[in-house]
Amino acid sequence: MLNIVRVTLKGIFRDRVFHGILAVAVVFLAIPSVSTLSMRQVTELSITLALSLESFILLLLAVFLGGTSLWKDIERRYTFSVLSLPITRSRYLFGRFLGIALFLILTAAVLGAGALVAVKVVSSGYPPDRPVAWGAIMAAVGFDALKYVFLVAFAVLFSSLSTSFFLPVFGTIAIFLVGGATQQVYDYVHSAAARTMAPLVRQVATLLYYLLPNFSSFDLKVNAIYAVPLDYHGLALTVGYCVIYTSLLLVAAAAIFGRREMK
């Protein structure tokens, strides 16, 4: 499996799409000057920008690497030569997932460092009212990366089902949007405003809330920007949730991919 991880990473590093996406990271250089355009809360703005940019790049990578990696192997007929080696389908799939996950974490670390540098530059020029919560910024980057690793598991599941890149890419984008909204929908359904709603609708919404992924607890931007203390117990739950959900997705993907015909 390590072997597949290695090959996956080599593939990503030598891919032109990857070079293009990383070029976006150059925008980090612009953060200090853009932040100063704001009259107040310059440091807060720089943190917001840095985290959003990092998140956007990771999203692109998660969708495109996760959604196209398996599809490309099938489309270019690499699966014939690779899956006929003594590697089980599930090992191949997990290897691919781990390779992409590792790469996302690596990128998050590099971009996170970039974000810290950008914020440091800004905060030394425009000292903020309260001290910058460096730990919270790093936690925000880490949990953001975790969220995208989780998203990649969805991409892998969709890839194991589909013969084109359409479902993996757009399905993953859809999951990203849905996962970001589930908490809000749930909160709305259980709020006073929704009391007129049919009970059935409310039950369906609640069921979906438990089935669909919920990305809101991965979002620590507020903690990072306003130096709000972290809720460690909640974060531990989030990690557990992510690990269990991701494992289930991968097991399902492996079961489907194992039965798949390489025609």
Q: Which residues bind other proteins (CB under 8 A)?
A: 3, 6-7, 10-11, 14-15, 76-88, 259, 261-263
Amino acid residing at 81: S
Picking from 106, 97, 107, 121, the residue whose alpha carbon sits closest to that of residue 29 is 121
Residues 69/96, Cβ–Cβ less than 8 Å:
yes
The minimum distance between CB 81 and other proteins, in angstroms, equals 5
Assigned token pair, 134: 């460096």
**Euclidean distance between CA atoms 245 and 234, whole angstroms:** 16
Picking from 62, 76, 61, the residue whose alpha carbon sits closest to that of residue 23 is 61
Tell me the CA distances in angstroms from 193 to 80, 125, 186, 188, 226, one per residue in order. Answer: 56, 46, 12, 7, 30
The minimum distance between CB 76 and other proteins, in angstroms, equals 6
Residues counted in the chain = 263
From the number of C-beta atoms within 10 Å of its C-beta (0-12, 13-18, 19+), residue 63 rates as: buried
**Euclidean distance between CA atoms 96 and 72, whole angstroms:** 12
From the number of C-beta atoms within 10 Å of its C-beta (0-12, 13-18, 19+), residue 66 rates as: buried
DSSP-H helix ranges across the chain: 2-13, 16-23, 31-35, 42-75, 78-83, 89-125, 134-161, 166-189, 199-211, 221-226, 232-259
